[in-house]
């Protein structure tokens, strides 16, 4: 299986558009403009990119960024072998070579100093200098760079530098609207619509607590967890406690507020 085939998204991911984001992304891709997707945890950013890669028929290479990630982890390094060293492309280099969409997930987790290696790929040069190999790699015509970014984490310590931000077009994401979110729960787990709406209403309570004791609201992903457990015959109150309360907070007041909403909803 070639590198390129390995990274193709073969089955259509389940994705429910929220606005005009599909057409706008296609326009950005046509010009190969770098794209930044912004929004809270678990609102569907990664799935949107996966869906677009499938729709465009382009390979997708995802990198979960972290603070230990070095430029070599992105670009590549020499490996020692029986007869000397062998160069191994990193995921960014592979993407630039084969013409993939390279998706750097949670970019703010990476040190901003590492991130500068993407700069020459995101301006008119569209080149990746492999300094350690002494090679100047021009990006494949299909290559595009995409990053995700959670503005809720934005802080003085962990924000993108202006010289990085100004290389991207951006898409703002948020949790889906209530009707759409209930529809997602039903389609992903088989839960009936009335139950799904009840779960979505609990999510709405939690999201109003953001900034008042919760760092983030409850994500669509956690609502899907609860729906799956209920669909498997777990008591809705147990399912909600396991999936919507216990993971997100240990604060007694916030827990009481959430448990109260759950009890009222599933009385």
Contacts (CB under 8 A) with a second copy, residues 188-247: 215-216, 218-219, 221-222, 225, 228-229, 232-234, 238, 242-243, 246-247
Figure out which of the listed residues 4, 16, 152, 180 binds a second copy, where binding follows CB under 8 A.
152
Please state the separation of Cα 232 from the chain's center in Å: 28
Based on the shown chain and the rule CB under 8 A, indicate whether residue 46 belongs to the binding site for a second copy. yes
Q: How many residues belong to the site for a second copy (CB under 8 A)?
A: 94
Shortest reach from residue 170's CB to a second copy, in Å: 3
Site for a second copy in 51-90 (CB under 8 A): 62-68, 70-71, 73, 78-85, 88-90
Shortest reach from residue 36's CB to a second copy, in Å: 6
b/e sequence 17-48, b meaning 16+ C-beta within 10 Å: ebeebeeebeebbeeeebbbbbbbbbbbbbbb
Q: Which of 165, 147, 189, 144 is nearest to 45 (CA)?
A: 147
Please state the separation of Cα 33 from the chain's center in Å: 18
Based on the shown chain and the rule CB under 8 A, indicate whether residue 95 belongs to the binding site for a second copy. no
How many other C-beta atoms lie within 10 A of the C-beta of residue 6?
11
Shortest reach from residue 178's CB to a second copy, in Å: 19
DSSP state of 214: B
> Which tokens hold the place of 140?
């494949």
> Which tokens hold the place of 215?
């760092």
Based on the shown chain and the rule CB under 8 A, indicate whether residue 171 belongs to the binding site for a second copy. yes
Figure out which of the listed residues 2, 31, 194, 212 binds a second copy, where binding follows CB under 8 A.
31
Based on the shown chain and the rule CB under 8 A, indicate whether residue 252 belongs to the binding site for a second copy. no
- HSE (side-chain half, CA atoms, 13 Å) at 224: 14
Site for a second copy in 118-137 (CB under 8 A): 119-120, 123-125, 129, 131-132, 134, 136
């Amino acid at each position: 299986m070639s590198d390129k085939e390995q990274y193709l998204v073969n089955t259509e991911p389940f994705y429910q558009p929220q606005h005009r984001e599909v057409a706008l992304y296609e326009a950005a891709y046509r010009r190969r403009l770098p794209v930044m997707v912004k929004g809270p945890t678990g609102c569907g950013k990664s799935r949107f990119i996966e869906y677009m890669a499938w729709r465009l028929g382009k390979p997708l290479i995802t990198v979960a960024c972290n603070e230990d990630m070095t430029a070599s982890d992105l670009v590549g390094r020499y490996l020692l072998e029986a007869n000397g060293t062998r160069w191994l492309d990193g995921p960014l280099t592979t993407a630039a070579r084969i013409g993939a969409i390279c998706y750097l997930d949670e970019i703010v987790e990476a040190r901003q100093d590492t991130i500068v290696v993407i700069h020459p790929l995101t301006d008119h040069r569209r080149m990746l200098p492999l300094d350690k190999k002494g090679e100047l790699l021009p990006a494949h015509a299909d290559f595009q760079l995409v990053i995700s970014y959670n503005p809720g984490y934005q802080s003085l310590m962990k924000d993108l530098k202006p010289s990085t931000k100004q290389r991207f077009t951006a898409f703002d994401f948020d949790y889906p609207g209530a009707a759409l979110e209930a529809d997602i729960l039903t389609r992903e787990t088989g839960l009936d619509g009335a139950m799904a709406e009840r779960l979505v209403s609990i999510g709405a309570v939690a999201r109003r607590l953001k900034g008042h004791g919760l760092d983030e609201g409850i994500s669509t992903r956690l609502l899907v967890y609860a729906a799956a457990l209920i669909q498997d015959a777990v008591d809705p109150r147990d399912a909600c406690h396991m999936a919507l309360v216990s993971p997100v907070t240990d604060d007694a007041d916030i827990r009481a507020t959430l448990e109260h909403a759950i009890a009222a909803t599933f009385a």
